[in-house]
């Protein structure tokens, strides 16, 4: 089992293993910026086994109406157990409650498992994968 929790303090920021190349670019300040949605998945023993970070898109608007998934990671032994799906659903629900109407994510071509995950959650393919949250979430 696992529990999804919001990141509250810098020490909650996940230090996930796995050699993910983007890991070094994510610091505690990025996670904790106002407006971000930051979630972790914790195992029964309290170990962080997954994490998700959504950031608002505020290009020309004073208030974001869309967010992008910039970090979604699950430790290898915990993959294919619904953790990424649970992180995305919890984040989408929170985003919809906050008035966000759209989530999008860029996926590396050939990443079949991630593409299948976003397809199964009704994201639509285009320049990015996108889902409309105007009905309240996933």
Burial (CB count within 10 angstroms: exposed 0-12, middle 13-18, buried 19+), residue 13: buried
In what order do the strands lie in the sheet containing 37-43?
A: 2-6, 37-43, 48-57, 66-74, 102-105, 129-132
Determine the topology of domain 2-132 in CATH.
Aminopeptidase (3.40.630)
| Mean pLDDT of the residues in the chain | 78
Separation in Å, CA 84 to CA 28, 34, 59, 64, 69: 21, 23, 27, 24, 12
pLDDT at 27 over 50: yes
Q: Please give the residue that has the higher pLDDT: either 124 or 22.
A: 124
Q: Please give the residue that has the higher pLDDT: either 27 or 111.
A: 111
User: What is the per-residue pLDDT for 119?
Assistant: 87
Where residue 94 falls among pLDDT bands split at 50, 70, 90? very high
Q: Domain ranges in the chain? A: 2-132
Q: Please give the residue that has the higher pLDDT: either 43 or 16.
A: 43
pLDDT at 42 over 80: yes
pLDDT at 120 over 70: yes
Where residue 18 falls among pLDDT bands split at 50, 70, 90? very low
């Amino acid at each position: 089992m696992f529990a999804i929790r919001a990141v509250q303090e810098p020490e909650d920021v996940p230090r996930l293993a796995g050699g993910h190349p983007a890991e070094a670019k994510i610091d505690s300040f990025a996670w904790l910026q106002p407006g971000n949605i930051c979630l972790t998945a914790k195992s029964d023993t309290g170990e962080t086994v997954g994490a998700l970070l959504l950031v608002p898109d505020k290009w020309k608007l004073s208030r974001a109406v869309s967010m992008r998934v910039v970090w979604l990671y699950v430790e290898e032994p915990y993959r294919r157990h619904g953790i990424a799906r649970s992180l995305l659903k919890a984040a989408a629900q929170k985003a919809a409650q906050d008035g966000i109407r759209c989530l999008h994510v860029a996926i590396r071509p050939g990443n079949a498992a991630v593409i299948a995950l976003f397809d199964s959650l009704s994201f639509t393919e285009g320049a990015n994968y996108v889902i409309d949250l105007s009905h309240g979430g996933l």
